[in-house]
Amino acid sequence: MNMSDAENVLVRIRVNGELREATVEARTLLVEFLREHLNLTGTHIGCDTTYCGACTVILNGRTVKTCTMFAPMADGGEITTVEGLSKNGELHPIQEAFAECHGLQCGFCTPGLLLSTMHLLQKTRKPTDKQIRKAIAGNTCRCTGYQNVFKAIRAAATRMEKP
Amino acid sequence: MEFIVYAAPFSYHRVASVQEAIKLLQELGEEARVIAGGQSLIPLMKMRMARPSALVDINFITGLREIKRQNGELRFGALARHADIENSEVAAAIPIVHDCAAGIADVQVRNQGTIGGSLAEADPSGDWGTALLTLETSLRCMGPKGERTVALEDFIKDAYTTVLAHDELVTEVIAKMPPKGSGGAHLAFKRSAPVYPTLSVAAHLTLEGKDTCKDARIALGCVGLTALRAKEAEAALRGKTLNEKTVRAAAEAARETAEPQSDMRGSAEYKRVLLAAMVKRAIGVAARRAHGERVEAEHEYVGR
């Protein structure tokens, strides 16, 4: 890395299929990199303490909390944010399921929940209730009481199974 | 621009090999720190409880993430993520290793946090110390003078303090397979998934015949400056028949070993009561597993 020794680091990440880069202070959190430097404000900052999961994205195939990662640590990686879920103006089946089942109210936690659901369904096509509970244990929702989130995840699993 | 919590400024250094990391750590001096998954270090830096002048990022070193079984040992590369261990069939050969990994925080943290980093951080509420103290565990450490292997008991000195020199790092965690007739349990009690446990208990028993306890190892987490071996509790079981009386004696002894602090997770008194119950439960699960029974045992929290 040619910028090593510096407090400012060039970070290149493929975000939602597009190569993006910016030179940032090393202490820049990944969530801030996405929001402030790439203008992708769909990834939310909730607690900023590794608890709530509103800042969840998929990095190299796995969910991470972007408030607990410095941007340079993700250099060279591939990220999916909530902005990358819909294609050509069509909602992703997971988004459709959340809308239909009222799996959200205020919507603040929703980007994180959508990506945790995506991560679950990529690994487990027919998750059990227990697997669903475990998959979203790191995503806090203060509105729904989770029941409709559950329904949405089950519905999303069914939708994604269909060819 | 919204409010966000920043770490103090630091210089960032990415390395491709352990040797390179050691060299850089020597050059950068004592204020430099190694960063692996960052799930303990980054929150500490954001709270400014840690202010390293430089971070040496070892995540890009290849070959430090393997999980393998050989010569009666499970060997974990220091960068093996908790999720790698949770999902590893190899690691499942020791059930408490799987149970510990699968219960740490939540999916996102398990995807990022590492076994080597967790042990090197030596957070008194960390999960691995408790689980691995019930096994014969050692850590391979590499520094400028070469390599050394340190038993886990000797590795953690105090809260957030290990025997590692500032220019030394953990490369591998090695746990010996327990003998035949053994069974273990790692139980942790927490209010919700992402938080540190209120307390945790790990037990490993080796049984002979129906219920004679040939050997016992019990460790307690979050109730001291480090994970603690409950040696009096072990002595209360060793050579005895497992029954209500001996198990109660072990739980009482563990209560005495514990040094819980009153905090937001509960009063010291509450924690002692909880601890005794968890020790009994852990011994029960360990004994059933030692008899070959399949028992699910995991971190306990509301909504699981």
Contact B54, B13 (CB under 8 A): yes
Q: Is A83 helix (H, G, I), strand (E, B) or coil?
A: helix
Place of tokens 């029954």: B243
Contact B170, B116 (CB under 8 A): yes
Place of tokens 């409010």: B3
Whether B43 has its CB under 8 Å from any CB of chain A: the answer is yes
Chain A nearest CA to B42, separation (Å): 6
Q: Which residue of B has its CA nearest to A145?
A: B303
Reading the block at residue A115, the tokens are: 């990506």
**Does the pTM exceed 0.90?**
yes
Residue pairs spanning A and B at CB distance below 8 A? 112
Q: What is the pLDDT of residues B225-280, one digit of tens each?
A: 999 999 999 999 999 999 999 999 999 999 999 999 999 999 999 999 999 999 99
List chain A residues with CB under 8 Å of B304: 133-134, 137
Q: What is the pLDDT of residue A1?
A: 44
Q: Is A77 helix (H, G, I), strand (E, B) or coil?
A: coil
Contact B175, B95 (CB under 8 A): no
Q: What is the pLDDT of residues B279-301, one digit of tens each?
A: 999 999 999 999 999 999 989 89
Q: Closest partner residue to A29 among B4, B35, B194, by Cβ? A: B4
Query: A138 vs B106: CB contact, 8 Å cut-off?
Result: yes
Q: What is the pLDDT of residues A46-77, one digit of tens each?
A: 999 999 999 999 999 999 999 999 999 999 99
Query: B112 vs A1: CB contact, 8 Å cut-off?
Result: no
Place of tokens 């997770």: B265
Predicted complex: ipTM over 0.90: yes
Q: What is the pLDDT of residue A4?
A: 46
List chain B residues with CB under 8 Å of A138: 105-109, 193-194
* Mean pLDDT of the B70-96 span: 98
Which among A5, A25, A27, A142 is the top mutation candidate for probing chain B, defined by the most B β-carbons within 10 Å of its own β-carbon?
A: A27
Whether A50 has its CB under 8 Å from any CB of chain B: the answer is yes
The count of other CB atoms within 10 Å of the CB of residue B87 is: 16
Reading the block at residue B16, the tokens are: 């491709």
Whether A73 has its CB under 8 Å from any CB of chain B: the answer is yes
Query: B39 vs A68: CB contact, 8 Å cut-off?
Result: yes
DSSP state of B170: E
